[in-house]
Chains A and B, each alone.
Chain A
Amino acid sequence: MRRTTRSALAVTTTMSLAGLAALTGCTSAGTTSGSSGGARTTLTLGMTQDIQGWDPTSQPAYQGWAASAVYDSLIRCGANGQPEPDVATSWTFAPNNMGVTAHLRSGMRFSDGSPVDAAAVKANFEYAKKHGGSAARFADMTVTTPDKSTVKITLSKPNPLLTARLCEVRMGSPRFLASGKTNKAPVGSGPYTLDASATTAGSTYTFTKNDAYWDSKRFPYKKLVIKVITNETAAINALKTDQIDGSLITQATYSQAEAAGLKVQWQKSEVTRLLITDHLGKKVPALGNVDVRRAMNMVFDKEAIAKNLYRGLASPTAQIFRAGTQARINGLKDPYPYDVEAAKALMAKAGYAKGFTLEMPYMQGQGLDALMPVVKQQLGLINIKVKQVTLSGPNAIGELLSGKYPVPMWALGNYADSRQDIADYVLPDGIWNVEHQQDPTVNKLWNTISSKTSEQSAKDQQALNQYVIDQAWFVPMVDTGTIYASNPEVKINKSTDPAGLHPQLWDFQ
């Protein structure tokens, strides 16, 4: 009886283990980026967030490899924000940043066969004026087409960010734009075309090289695969096992990537900061006092934050602009060195020795989770009681930008053209100047900056930077940025991304 039971058990156990063995055994290693005869033919990139469909106006600059694969722009912006050829081979800017005349490349075609000509460029700028979240950026542009290969864009007032705007408009076929189905599949003129049969939206996007592309040599891979891997552990595992050739990672997995022999690049591209946007003290009167704002700057040990919280992948800073940009003041000595006692004295001088309460929003899961307790603790040393407002989900960005909170905490990216930083973070109508408070000095300096080139306006940009520092509108803490880990076999040129976030598609060689 016992024996029979045991035999039955043995048989069924063997069968189920055989089933498991079928599942667990006899397998080969994970797939790798394809190579044939020693020459790599496939580039497989990980992307930590999905793309938002294929409409040319919803293509992100951050991890915008899919857009770069299928779409061209009128011009490309280089690492320093300088214009480079793309659809246009040459261009002439009108005086005072009032417009541009661009001469187009001949013979270019969209993937539906239609020509990339002046009419198509005009159609795309008109489309960008009416679609997508950045539509307002193009509202002031009037586009005319003197001939088939010339486009003239004129503005009603100077726009110092004109070059950046020209790089932003991705070009789709006019027929595609008019179809109303721009999210189904892209119809561009880029170096690759989407292979819909090998694509699963939200997971894997596969592209085939467009051999007729004007700059074909700059894109050596015959096939491009972009995999959406939102989980960092998964991304690093995929890198270690050659399933992908590159991905953005964070400080948390930096040492793992290094230990695994991956190539790691650190791009300094953002400054972690508090944004004291209520500098007129309309919501919290104390913030209207410059001594209070300066005191807030003096309670953070930036060296320790860079070393401990950012694991050395950050450097202390006293200004919000990136090194190498026109607004950056080189060799600036921190005017607000870490000194809690001096900060207390400033608070007392301002009449706020007993401090005040501050509602401070921060977004969960954006790399600031470890910093928030430090901010609360350090501001507490000068009796500023921080009531943390934790934001997440679809409302988070809207809440941060709403102007409800006088001092948001955020790590904001820096652009190659620091005028963009000024426009976004300092000007009264800047997105991140969330209370949009007017300031005559800023307005005056910006008026001067507006009609000059980036180089010509360097002195005024630095004057504006110094003014912002003197007024302590921000509490800059560390220069930090993004970390890109990649397969050592893949050659990656120095990043030409104007936002300094990661390599551009053409940087992979």
Chain B
Amino acid sequence: MLVSVLRKLVRAVAVLLLVSFATFTLMYGNGPGIARAVLGTNATDATVRAEVAKLGLDRPLLVQYGDWLKGVVTGDFGESFFTGQSVSSALSSRVPVTLTLIVLTILLTAVVSVLVGVAAAVRGGWIDRVVQFLSVAGAAVPPFIVAIGLVFAFAVSFRAFPATGYVSPDQSPTGWIESVTLPVLALLVAAIANSAAQFRGAILDTLSQDFVRTLRARGIPESKVVFRHVLRNAAGPGLTVLSLQTLGLIGGAVFIEQVFALPGLGELSNGSAQRGDVPMVMGCVLVTIVIVLVVNLLGDLVTAAVNPKARTR
């Protein structure tokens, strides 16, 4: 298991280098454009040239990338070309917002999807049909449409929640809950719709296997059969779906952060990429890759922990 984790970590570093270099290459070569965007339309060509040199955008690609990488290793992610804010300080305020959305959504998705999946698979009948219908419907509606509906209903009409903004939990725990409720709900709809159907399928598959029949024949209570044995065997595909959901949520969060004006990573990376703020974009990319890698690693570890058969892989 340890060797497997180490192997994954080495692979993770390789992915990190590859993706970061690819992003750097894409952002590269636009020095005058970036300098013009920094300085505004009043800047003369000479001022733009000077800014290109000041920002070091006239150096070869490999030198720029090498410097950035050296900085990252020493904990210096650089400063925004536009605001002068240090990338690490920007990330430290933005990452918690996005992580809050993702973690809350995925935890609630896991709980609700398992329950709904179990109910649909075990009970069948109308519950199953309703779950299947809602799964398709929920997955078909984009989260930002759900978000707009939620804001209209619960923020504008009933004023039950704030329409925009984020409150940090250390500032006000209740304010924090209020500020993340609608964004999380908006993300939850599609996430649960996708995951519940997958859990249902996995549980149905497992329920039809011989060992379940044997367990039932031995008089093991149905709840034990379902929650101890079936769920454990169905965990593999379910967790894979959850880890894929988590990765999808990183993208989905961009839209949700916009609709709710949340100062998250999505807003930061989107705005920075639009402006050509290379250090900020690279910081966002780095954090995103790390999240992706951690989620994958965690997915593998949890699968292995739940299902011993998976540990041999």
Contacts and interface: CB of A to CB of B under 8 A. Distances in A.
A1 B222 contact: yes
A120 to B, nearest CB: 22
Contacts of B38: 52, 133
Interface stretch (B162-170, B240-248, B290-298): B162-170
Given A27-B178, A230-B267, A12 B115 contact: yes
Interface string B40-55: 1111101100000000
Contact of B83 (A23, A53, A134, A235): A53
A201 B93 contact: yes
A227 B165 contact: yes
A465 B182 CA distance: 54
A133 B37 CA distance: 10
Given A27-B177, A238-B164, A50 B271 contact: yes
A28 interface: yes
User: Interface majority SS on B: helix, strand, loop or mixed?
Assistant: helix
Given A16-B111, A19-B111, A397-B37, A4 B160 contact: no
B41 A431 contact: yes
Given A1-B223, A394-B274, A27 B82 contact: no
A94 interface: no
Contacts of B273: 393
Given A2-B222, A134-B42, A237-B164, A20 B84 contact: no
B252 interface: no
B160 A137 contact: no
B275 interface: yes
Given A5-B122, A241-B163, A398 B93 contact: no
Nearest to B166: A203
A235 B161 CA distance: 15
Interface in A149-198: 182-184
B220 to A, nearest CB: 9
Interface in A349-403: 392-395, 397-399, 401
Given A23-B177, A27-B161, A16 B112 contact: yes
Nearest to B116: A13
Interface residues of B, number: 69
B221 interface: yes
A5 B223 contact: yes
A472 to B, nearest CB: 24
Contacts of B174: 27
A241 B162 contact: yes
Contacts of A135: 43, 47
Report, as a range, how many residues of chain A touch the other chain: 35 or more
B84 A55 contact: yes
A53 B82 contact: yes
Interface stretch (B62-70, B205-213, B256-264, B303-311): B256-264
A55 B148 CA distance: 37
A237 B163 contact: yes
A227 to B, nearest CB: 7
Contacts of A499: none
A183 B38 CA distance: 14
A137 B40 CA distance: 13
Interface in A21-71: 22-24, 27-31, 50-55, 60
Contact of A201 (B85, B156, B185, B261): B85
Interface stretch (B8-16, B26-34, B135-143): B26-34
A22 B177 contact: yes
Nearest to B29: A395
B164 to A, nearest CB: 4
A228 B268 CA distance: 12
A5 B83 contact: no
B155 A8 contact: no
7 contacts: A16-B108, A27-B177, A29-B162, A52-B38, A60-B40, A182-B84, A238-B165
Interface of B: 30, 32-34, 36-44, 46-47, 80, 82-85, 89-90, 93-94, 104, 108, 111-112, 115, 118-119, 122, 148, 151, 155-156, 159-166, 174-175, 177-178, 180-181, 184-185, 221-223, 226-227, 258-261, 263, 267-268, 271, 273-276
Interface of A: 1-2, 4-5, 7-9, 12-13, 16, 19-20, 22-24, 27-31, 50-55, 60, 132-137, 182-184, 200-204, 227-231, 233-235, 237-238, 240-241, 243, 392-395, 397-399, 401, 431-432
> 8 closest A-B pairs (Cβ-Cβ)?
A183-B84, A394-B276, A133-B39, A203-B263, A30-B162, A395-B33, A133-B43, A237-B163
